[in-house]
A and B are shown apart, each in its own frame.
Chain A
Amino acid sequence: MRLAQWQATLFNQIVSPNEDLLQPDFPGSDIVPDNAFNESRISIYRNNVIGGLESWIRNIYSNTHSLLGDYYFSVLCRCYISEVEPVAKLDNNFAEKLPEYIGQFTQKKIYTLEISAKTDKTKMKQRLKSLPQLMDVARLDWILQKSYYADKRKTWPQNDFLKLSPKQQAHLTFNLSPDINWLSSAWDLPSLLRLNVEQTLSPETDPSIQSVQSKSSRMFLLVERPQIKVKIKQVSQAEFDLLNLIKQNYSLSDIALQADHLSTFVARLIEHGWIDGFTPRLPDIETRFRSNQ
């Protein structure tokens, strides 16, 4: 048997088991000593794979796991693996869609003929309905691990920035530090999970933000890893909105056009180390002018 054929066959049997396995002329019959025996042996690999993926997900979503408990978390992982990422590329983005999946789970209709799986899923649905905050907990888990494994942030290149003309400064886009991630939630996640949270700007200590403070009850959280440890900070809605605009590559002049009050917060973000660089960008009009020359 050729190496590629062996690998294709084995992968197919582990990842997508099917009824062909029981047919004697199936290429996999090359796996000794006989098919009935093989199936139980191959199921060891299958279990190892599912167990490995589950363990991978559990490491990322530790708070979600604590809230759900072992049994339900295991059911959740197995459903997610089979429906969303059977055996995709195992990279830093594996299991990224779990929060979204949790959010959709209670809306899903359960299609399965297998009674035990159906029972598990029905119980799971009930459990998730009793934990409406779980999707946001999972989102927080995800960004906590993203920050934990992020590259080191750079030092803001102040001298390079000062060399630019005011016009160039207005049109550049900012680079966010690799360790910062943020989310908003209707739930007080830090209290729910008993996590320590720092406040960067509070209306009491910083009256300048009172005018832009959100009146909504949402909580805006930023996760960062300035040096060694990952920290969670509560930020203002203004900072939250500004981070979103910067992520969308808005320049300072774009930001001023969109919401003038936000541009005043850029210096603060640089001070916090959340912006660690910039990319010069000529305005369209100059680009056109240049190309016409």
Chain B
Amino acid sequence: MKIAIDSRKQDEFNESLPMSSRYLANSIASGSVGLGLREVHINQIIHQEHPVPWFELLVDNWFARGGFVNAALIGIAERYPLTLHGVGLSLGSVNPLNWDYLAKVKYVLETTNACWYSEHCSFSSFANQQVPDLLPIPYTEEALNHLASRISQVQDYLQQPILIENASSYIQCSSNEMSEPTFLKQLVELTGCYLLLDINNVYVSSQNHGWCAHRYLEEIPNDKVREIHLGGYYQHHSVLIDSHSCAPSDSVWALYQYYLANFRNDVPTLIEWDNDLPTFSALVAIQQKALGMIKQAQSKVEPKICD
């Protein structure tokens, strides 16, 4: 049995968003490039001139309701449009939804008036245990309905559609009943959620499982992609590991350019870098590189065909 949320209701859902949220959602310019905000860069972000138009917060780090964290949160939100990205909700888990966690997300959403909140198509908790990693779920009807139900509950609670990101993976379930793009497509149809397309994750998973990355990009519902992530991976023997600890590789840049040229060049892009952080100016250089590619794609649209 599928969840009774019709994708046609999505527009009505968007209409029901509070005015401030809709206003700010429009304030992230199409085809712009933002950066993941890290605490060590806050001073530079606030006090120096830079070309970064918006930032993404890893929401799990901003739950404190006092002190520096809260003051910085408010200060940044007053100056820049923000988006929220989470890793701790464990949407795909069979555990009950963590409402305490969601209440904290809602608090940050309301405090910052962030444009949207995104989470992953994965799970990280089971029974009374939780791991700091994003584990894959099987792509089955059962998992689809389970995840759709939870996304709907989250959207009802937050009173806005959320974005779901494709996670990178190193294993897949042999009982899969559909491909990852089909799973994501159905999830969007069932819940009215949007997609956060992580190009690096598409590349990593494709290499690890022998998928065609180009075909993957063709099969996802591109009209529902609301944000793109670009990050780095490292190679361990024959496996690519999503690490967010380096710049995007040449292959990932190439896949990004392919996406911009063939599908969408108006979606906001976010540069993700969480570990072994470089200087803020090094991140800005990557942000500018992505922006250059978007401008180039916008100036000439030449469709390419997947081989």
Q: Which A residues touch B70, using CB under 8 A? A: 152
Q: Which residues of A contact B275 (CB under 8 A)?
A: 55
Residues of B within 8 A of A49 (CB): 131-133
Which A1-30 residues sit within 8 Å CB-CB of chain B?
1-4, 6-8, 10-11, 14-15, 30
Do the beta carbons of B93 and A7 come within 8 Å of each other? yes
Interface presence of B94 (CB below 8 A): yes
The count of chain A contact residues (Cβ–Cβ below 8 Å) is: 45
> Which residues on B sit within 8 Å (CB–CB) of A265?
none
User: How far apart sit A147 and B68, CA to CA, in the bound complex (Å)?
Assistant: 11
A67 sits at the interface (CB 8 A): no
Q: Which of B69, B130, B172, B173 contacts A149 (CB 8 A)?
A: B69
Contact A7–B241 (Cβ < 8 Å) = no
Task: Give A2 to B241 CA distance when docked, in angstroms.
Answer: 27
| Per-position 1/0 for B95-108, Cβ under 8 A of A | 00000000000000
In the assembly, what is the distance between CA of A88 and CA of B129, in Å? 5
B129 near A89 with CB under 8 A, answer yes
B304 at the interface (CB under 8 A from A): no
Chain A residues whose CB sits within 8 angstroms of the CB of B123 once the complex forms:
7
Residues of chain A contacted by B171 (CB below 8 angstroms): 31-32, 38, 41-42, 45
- Which of A7, A42, A148 sits near B67, CB closer than 8 Å? A148
Residue of A nearest to B101 (CB): A91
**Chain B residues, CB < 8 A from A147:** 67
Contacting A90 at CB < 8 Å: which of B94, B126, B132, B135? B132
A135 to chain B, nearest CB (A): 25
A42 neighbours in B (Cβ, 8 Å): 170-171
Residue A232, interface by CB 8 Å:
no
B285 within 8 A of A: no
Residue B66 contacts which of A10, A40, A179 (CB distance < 8 angstroms)? A179
Given A89-B129, A149-B64; A3-B94 close (CB under 8 Å): yes
Determine the residue in chain A with the shortest Cβ distance to B68. A228
Q: How far apart are the CA atoms of A14 and B173 in the complex, in Å?
A: 15
Which residues from 238 to 274 on chain A have a C-beta closer than 8 Å to any C-beta of chain B? none
Number of A-B contacts defined by CB within 8 Å: 126
Per-residue 0/1 for A169-181: is the Cβ within 8 Å of any B Cβ (1 yes, 0 no)?
A: 0000000001100
By the criterion CB–CB under 8 Å, are A52 and B133 in contact?
A: yes
Cα(A153)–Cα(B92), bound, Å = 36
| CB within 8 Å for A149 and B128 given contacts A7-B93, A44-B241 | no
Chain A nearest CB from B272 CB (Å) reads: 16
Question: Once bound together, how far apart are the Cα atoms of A55 and B244, in whole Å?
Answer: 14
| CB–CB B132/A56 < 8 A | yes
Query: How far, in whole Å, are A2 and B142 apart by their CA atoms in the complex?
Result: 8
Q: Considering only CB atoms, which chain A residue lies closest to B132 in the complex? A: A52
* B140 and A14 within 8 A (CB): no
Output the residue of B67, B123, B239 with the most chain A CB within 10 A: B67
- Interface positions, chain B 129-152, Cβ under 8 Å from A, are 129-133, 135, 137-138, 140, 142-143, 146
The reply to whether A3 and B143 contact each other, CB–CB distance below 8 Å, is: yes
Whether A100 sits at the interface, judged by CB under 8 Å, is no
Smallest distance from the beta carbon of A13 to chain B beta carbons, Å? 10
Residue among B63, B66, B69, B71 facing the most chain A CB atoms (10 A cut-off)? B66
Contact yes or no, B131 A32, CB < 8 A: no
| Interface pair B146/A3, CB less than 8 Å apart | yes
CB distance from B61 to the nearest CB of A (A): 10
- CA A45 – CA B241 in complex, angstroms? 10
Selected contact of A89 from candidates B64, B128, B208, CB within 8 Å: B128
Question: Can you offer 19 A-B residue contacts whose CB atoms are under 8 A?
Answer: A1-B140, A3-B138, A3-B146, A6-B175, A7-B93, A15-B129, A31-B172, A31-B173, A31-B174, A40-B237, A42-B170, A45-B131, A52-B132, A55-B132, A88-B129, A88-B130, A90-B130, A149-B69, A153-B66
A-side residues, CB < 8 A to B, are: 1-4, 6-8, 10-11, 14-15, 30-33, 38, 40-42, 44-45, 48-49, 52-53, 55-56, 87-90, 147-153, 178-179, 225, 227-230
Starting from the known contacts A11-B131, A48-B132, A151-B65, 6 additional A-B residue pairs (CB-CB under 8 Å) come to: A1-B173, A3-B94, A44-B236, A49-B132, A53-B132, A89-B130
